[in-house]
Homo-oligomer: A and B are copies of this chain.
Amino acid sequence: MSWKRSERLIDMTNYLLNHPRDLISLTFFAERYSAAKSSISEDITILKEIFELQGIGKIITIPGAAGGVKYFVTVKEAQVKPFIDDLCQLLANPDRLLPGGYLYMQDIIGNPQIMDQVGRMFASKFGDQEIDAVMTVATKGIPLAYATASYLNVPVVIVRKDTKVTEGSTVSINYVSGSTKRIQTMLLARKSLKEGSRVLIVDDFMKAGGTINGMISLLNEFNASYAGIAVLIEAEEVEDRLIDQYTSVVKLSNVDAREKKITVSEGNYFLT
């Protein structure tokens, strides 16, 4: 088959979207479409422009014999702001109030589109950094971790609060829950993280930051480090937070169970 430009562009768009942060040589595309490298270069110019214009992402050209192109997910403030506003409104719905001041969250966590958009945001913020894995704690953080990891093109590492026989040997640490001050245990399968990895920590909710602090302690056990901390919701009323550098999408300022009022605002995503 001889490929026309319009046909190549469709397939290249799909290919790039499925291979974020991979280095793809122009030769690869030239052979895939039996096209001249110069034609592929022109294709890339058009792709770059539209990806940028539409907030799909940025395409970086790496020159030289070992060069090629890399696609990075990005988000546009103009697209994300309305998304965050909608999310705030969704969260402020008093129907999600549960006994004890807890909030029902499964409608948000269970929505792959919301998870995907938040994953895009996190990948956009940290995509330029060297990241080997996304780490989270079971179970609510899992969807967000996968959404982020698929845009970063790295594996997901899941920390647990209970032991499973099917994980083999584990490394465990004790940590103090920031809000309840109770001592808890979390563990990670020894096989699931390579020594010296650089990790992005992702979670659905951060109050005092005890759980995230626990994950950082676990990282130390693997001689690993973290590139950043990203949470969907931060609780604002916390006095002595254990974590000071993080990115949040929304901020939960107040939950008034008596008045049935939940106060939510934009997080620090665009400030960090």
- Residues of A with Cβ closer than 8 Å to B? 1, 5-7, 9-11, 13-14, 17, 46-47, 49-51, 53-54, 56, 98-100, 102-107, 110-113, 115-116, 138-139, 142-143, 146-147, 149-150, 153-158, 165-168, 189, 191-192
Contacts and interface: CB of A to CB of B under 8 A. Distances in A.
A98 B163 CA distance: 14
- What's the number of copies of this chain in the assembled complex? 2
A166 B104 contact: yes
Contacts of A6: 5-6, 9, 46
Nearest to A189: B106
Contacts of A113: 150, 153
Nearest to A54: B11
A233 to B, nearest CB: 12
Contacts of A47: 10
Given A7-B46, A192-B106, A192-B110, A158 B139 contact: yes
30 contacts: A6-B6, A6-B9, A7-B49, A7-B50, A9-B9, A11-B50, A11-B54, A13-B13, A13-B14, A14-B54, A98-B165, A98-B166, A102-B165, A102-B166, A104-B167, A104-B191, A106-B158, A107-B155, A107-B191, A110-B155, A110-B156, A110-B157, A112-B146, A112-B153, A112-B154, A113-B150, A138-B139, A139-B139, A139-B142, A146-B146
**A10, A50, A189 — which one has the most chain B CB atoms within 10 A of its CB?**
A10
Contacts of A157: 106, 110
A168 B99 CA distance: 8
A5 B138 CA distance: 46
A105 B155 CA distance: 13
Contact of A143 (B11, B50, B107, B156): B156
A146 B106 contact: no
A11 B165 CA distance: 47
A193 B155 CA distance: 30
Given A104-B167, A143-B156, A10 B112 contact: no
Given A115-B146, A146-B112, A150-B112, A191 B106 contact: yes
A147 B113 CA distance: 11
A145 B14 CA distance: 22
Contacts of A150: 112-113, 116
A166 B5 contact: no
A108 to B, nearest CB: 10
